[in-house]
Amino acid sequence: MATIGILNLQGDVSEHFEITKQALDEMNVNAKVLKVKNPEYLLKCDAIIISGGESTVIGKLMEKTGIGKLIVDKKIPVMGTCAGMVLLAKKTDYEQPLLGLIDMEVKRNAFGRQKASFEKIIEIFGHKFEGIFIRAPYIEKVGKSVDILSIYNEKIIAVKSGKHIATAFHPELTGDTRIHKYFIKEALNCAE
Active site residue 172: yes
**How far is residue 177 CA from its own chain's centroid?**
14
Active site residue 45: no
Picking from 125, 51, 122, the residue whose alpha carbon sits closest to that of residue 81 is: 51
Active site residue 170: yes
* Catalytic residue (choose from 170, 180, 190, 192): 170
Kindly state the DSSP code that residue 150 receives in the 8-state scheme.
Answer: E
Q: Which positions ≥6 away from 155 have C-beta within 8 Å?
A: 110, 138, 139, 168
* Catalytic residue (choose from 172, 186, 190, 192): 172
User: What is the number of other CB atoms lying within 10 angstroms of the CB of residue 162?
Assistant: 14
Point out which residues pair with 77 in neighbouring strands.
none
User: What is the number of other CB atoms lying within 10 angstroms of the CB of residue 47?
Assistant: 21
* Catalytic residue (choose from 15, 82, 164, 180): 82
Residues serving a catalytic function are 82, 170, 172
